[in-house]
Structures are given as structure tokens and as C-alpha cells.
Structure 1
């Protein structure tokens, strides 16, 4: 079940995507803003609880674990805000907590997942887990849909 396009199909795809590299936010700004809003609400609620309960009401281990979890959520929110997806003549790349990258030659098939919050392209590669990319701009979303059509599973 190979989905690899012919060189002509690949060239047509890159031409349809437009001038390369195509770069854009990986996550829509409104989703990243909601993540920051949720972080602010968590911090506000934590401060309110600590003020009402007093510093001795919660064990230090509980406070430390809450702060570690909050730090991890803040780190993820920051990455959602700054993450960039790029489509080039070499493949697809996304900056994230760990860099995600796949070359055109590695892609066996793809699946476009149009969720409400973000549009995703799942790239299936011969070895390892599928690589998932997010598209936060209309241009990237349209490119993901085109890529998915060209790299769909074929009988």
C-alpha cells in the first residue's frame, strides 16, 4: 500500500503549495491565547487558595508538585505560542518541545485531520511512530489538505 507520488505528482504538489518555504504558526493564535488565559486562571486560583488557607494549610510537597505541574503547563503554552511549521522542497518541519521533521522521501502516507482547534497532518513513515504536524494558518491548512490528497493510501 504505497502512497508515494511520482516525481511529476510531487513537483505539481510543491507548485500548488506556492512559493516555498511556506511558514506559519503551528497553533492558531486564539488557541494559544486560550492556553495563556487558562494558565492565568490557574495561577489566580492558586494564589487565592493559598491566601485563604494560609501557608501552613497545604503540605510543602503538595505545593511543590502543583508548582512543577504549573511550570510544565506554562512551558507547553509558551511552545504553543512560538511553534512554527514550515513546508519546504525538502519536507515538513515544526519547532515544538522537540523538533519534528520528515522528508518527502520518508513519507509513506498521510492523514489530514481537520479538528476545530487545529488542523493536523499525520505523516506515516517506515520506521517509528507517525509524525504529527499542526497548521495554525489558512495557508498551511490548505497545503496540508493538498499533501494529504497526494500522499493518500492507495490500493
Structure 2
């Protein structure tokens, strides 16, 4: 016996959802400022410790391979921290998008179901789409978090 298909919201339910969210497009930070600031503080701490390690001499000195490895990892973390600071999530009449290392975007017709994940550091909306992997969006503002919760209620799995 085949599994039942997921019932998507009706056009009226979807229109009511967009009305509840408010004037569109709704834009906001993808990551809360305090999380992005903590990421930058961690980067500063790593830079400070790396600077201290580079000043060691003789037998205490770190091997060049370790220094290069730490520097490469630090560069990647700095790149991610920069994206955390500048990333924007947008909800529009066309769908949801977020600027990130790679652009995340999903249109309303593609969404099969959603799941709202309220973590301490960030609130996430996981969008399960027709084809491919789920798309995860972050909400760093109270307005986006409320919109994610509403979207999750309307696009929850219904059998």
C-alpha cells in the first residue's frame, strides 16, 4: 500500500499566512547579533593564542605544519564569521531566501512540509522540498522567528 501524499495548504491558507506575516518582504538578520559577536570574539581569542604560539622559540616552538594548519582553519572560521555577521533572511510572496556562503532559496510551491526548530542560539526553519535535500533557514530577529513559527504551523505534515 503506497504512503499517502502530503496535503499542502490550500491557497486560502497560504494567503492568510502571508497576511499574518505582515508586509512583505520581511527581511532580517539570519543570525542574532550576539551569536555573530561571540564568533568574532572566538576568532580574536584564536588569533591571540596563535600570536603567542608564534613567539615560542627552540624546542617549545610549534612545527610549521601545525602553524599552517591552524592558519588555514582560522581563515575558514573567519570567512564563516563574516557570513554570519552579514547574512540576511527574507520572506517574500515568492518564497524564502537567505544569503549565506551559498545562497539558500525555496519557493512556496516547492515546499512540501516544514519544521520549526527553536534552538537557544538561533531559530531554524527546515523546509522539506519536492526534490533534493531539505533547506535550512535561520532567523535572527523576533519578527522572522514569529514568521517561521507561523509558516511551520501552516506547512506542517498533514496526512
TM interval, shorter chain, is over 0.9
Corresponding position of 2:20: 16
RMSD over equivalenced CA pairs, Å:
1.4
Corresponding position of 1:125: 129
Aligned length: 155
| Contact 2:53–2:61 under 8 Å retained in 1 | no
Deviation of 1:58 after TM superposition, in Å, equals 2.3
Corresponding position of 2:142: 138
| Contact 1:23–1:85 under 8 Å retained in 2 | yes
The answer to whether the aligner puts 1:149 opposite 2:149 as a matched pair is: no
Change in 2 beyond 3 A, CA 1:45/1:3? farther
Structure 2: where are the runs of 5+ without partners? Answer: none
Find the aligned partners of 2:16 and 2:22 in 1 and give their Cα distance: 10
Deviation of 1:61 after TM superposition, in Å, equals 2.0
TM-score relative to the length of structure 1: 0.96
Which residues in structure 2 correspond to 1:1-155 (within 5 Å)?
1-53=5-57, 57-155=61-159
Q: Deviations over 1:99-129 (max 9, x none)?
A: 0000000000000000000000000001111
Where 1:153 maps in the other structure, the secondary structure is coil
Find the aligned partners of 2:58 and 2:72 in 1 and give their Cα distance: 20
| Contact 2:17–2:151 under 8 Å retained in 1 | yes
| Contact 1:3–1:152 under 8 Å retained in 2 | no
| Contact 1:22–1:88 under 8 Å retained in 2 | yes
Deviation of 1:76 after TM superposition, in Å, equals 0.2
Deviation of 1:54 after TM superposition, in Å, equals 6.0
